[in-house]
Amino acid sequence: MGQATRTTKLLLDLSKRKEGGANTGKRACLEKTVAVLEAARAFYLDFFLAHSQKLAERVVYYSEKHLEMRERAISANELLTWAEACTVETREHPHPWAGWNFSEQFPDLPFAYRRSVIKDAIGKARAHLSTRATWEKSGKKKGKPGLPGAAEHPTLYKGTWELDLSDSDVKHRFVRLKVYDGLSWQWVNYPLKCSRHFQQRHREPGWEQASPLLILTKEDAALHFPQTRHVEAKKVKESKLDPELVTVAVDLNVRNLAVITVRQRGQIIETVFVTDHGLDQARYRQLKKIAKKQWLSGKPVTGEHSNQQIWRHVRRMNEDAAHQVAHRIAQVCANYPGCVLLFERLRKIKPKGASKSRRMNRRQANQLRGKINQYAREQAFATCSTCTVEVNPHGTSQYCSRCGKPGERFSYRGGKRVSEKWGKLFWCPHCRYQAHADFNGSANVHHSFFQEFHWKPRPQRSG
Ligand SMILES: [Zn+2]
């Protein structure tokens, strides 16, 4: 039993007016809204930090289950009601606390927005107080946690946005948002970049929808809808007892981004190689450009990002590749219902030595592997309730997957076998087994999971 999460994104169209996008005034409204909400969040963050004893309050309640009075921590909803009573002018509470009059400082702020910033502030204040408590407990002098910032993507509760998807024309859709234009709060229509894909995901049965976040960046604005789904999944311990269990192992590498092997009853029944289609080379070329520019311009200016365009391109390439590979892995898992997905615990390929661009490329490759791992496990869990296990990566590329003895890597140079550490092929001198090195590594991941060969649990030493 578990919960799968995902985000469905809906882009607002902020392209030029002629091309059907929102006008610049509308864009400015979004920026002002985010700024006002940040100020409001800062207000409540200060308020909660000034009254931190309230956050730690215990509440006595009557438990129906245990038939007695019990104690529990104060809930976020109770805190919200309390904070509103202290700071907001209403008929029941005509006089907010001195110095904490929210209604005066933020007149007409819609109550749905007010509630969302109070909830954000409670979360931030609680997180800050707990990290500070652990820091105080540790007795360290350095590393005192600083005060939390108030920036956050605003959550749009009911009453601040309206989205009508009933219109048959997908291309011409709008979302109504309650925004601040600098003087008052208005409903404004924003054109969307809506697609059938969005609609399908948005309405897919089984997924529960939470309030969307308004994500405003330098270039784009979007609504992100968090979605959750309950997933019934068997415990891995139980599945491991099943002799028919299918395991899907993934070996993540640089050139062969992923080598997927599927094993049942001790035999590999399917193998999929996912190559990077030259991504590593392309990224290396881009990073070489950056390294050269940095070298030409001397020391980088502090506080200024250089080569933004190239970095963005590199990040995009990585992100794209990660999603594609993850999708492929999830597809394989979907073919074998009830299977278990295996990854190695990630080890880093150390970005040491070599040229600067080489090192930067290594670092990017490491990040890519981490992303593939994360996306693949999320997708496999959400689409076919496959659980993921991380196994001990020790020696998966050095040992023979057939007999379990140490072997060596080599490549062919002019028809001759040359043994070298980075060779593409694997050879076992004990049983004369020969295979693609990444395939051998992937097959070993299964052995590591089932604790075969040298991955056997060691007998406990006594005395
Ligand atoms: Zn062997």
- 269 CA → ligand 1 middle, Å: 19
- 390 CA → ligand 1 middle, Å: 24
| Angstrom distances, CA of residue 1 to CA of 228, 232, 234, 348, 386 | 13, 4, 7, 32, 11
pLDDT band at residue 70 under the 50/70/90 scheme: confident
Top pLDDT among 126 and 17 is at: 126
- 405 CA → ligand 1 middle, Å: 6
Could you tell me what percent of the chain has a pLDDT over 90?
Answer: 25
Q: 232-251, pLDDT tens digit by residue?
A: 777 888 888 888 889 999 99
DSSP code, position 453: G
- 443 CA → ligand 1 middle, Å: 13
Partners of 223 in the β-ladder: 10, 214
Predicted local confidence at residue 116, as pLDDT: 93
- 328 CA → ligand 1 middle, Å: 30
Q: 289-307, pLDDT tens digit by residue?
A: 888 887 887 766 666 666 7
Average pLDDT over residues 428-441: 90
- 245 CA → ligand 1 middle, Å: 25
pLDDT band at residue 203 under the 50/70/90 scheme: confident
Q: Taking Cα atoms as reference points, which of 207, 241, 271, 235 lies closest to residue 442?
A: 271
Q: Is 440 left (phi over 0), alpha (psi -120 to 50) or beta?
A: alpha
User: Is the predicted pLDDT of residue 1 greater than 60, yes or no?
Assistant: no
d(CA 373, CA 388): 10
Predicted local confidence at residue 36, as pLDDT: 93
User: Is the predicted pLDDT of residue 22 greater than 60, yes or no?
Assistant: yes
- 434 CA → ligand 1 middle, Å: 8
d(CA 60, CA 71): 4
Q: 36-53, pLDDT tens digit by residue?
A: 999 999 999 999 999 888
User: Is the predicted pLDDT of residue 144 greater than 70, yes or no?
Assistant: yes
Q: 115-125, pLDDT tens digit by residue?
A: 999 999 999 99
pLDDT band at residue 263 under the 50/70/90 scheme: very high
- 401 CA → ligand 1 middle, Å: 7
**Tokens describing residue 192:** 């969307």
Average pLDDT over residues 72-94: 87
pLDDT band at residue 128 under the 50/70/90 scheme: very high
- 444 CA → ligand 1 middle, Å: 12
Predicted local confidence at residue 179, as pLDDT: 92
DSSP code, position 399: B
Predicted local confidence at residue 302, as pLDDT: 64
- 427 CA → ligand 1 middle, Å: 8
By DSSP bridging, strand 340-344 and strand 387-391 are parallel
- 395 CA → ligand 1 middle, Å: 14
pLDDT band at residue 349 under the 50/70/90 scheme: low
- 393 CA → ligand 1 middle, Å: 18
- 437 CA → ligand 1 middle, Å: 13
Mean pLDDT of the residues in the chain: 85
- 399 CA → ligand 1 middle, Å: 8
Q: Residues within 5 Å of ion ligand 1 by Cβ? A: 400, 402-403, 428, 430-431, 433
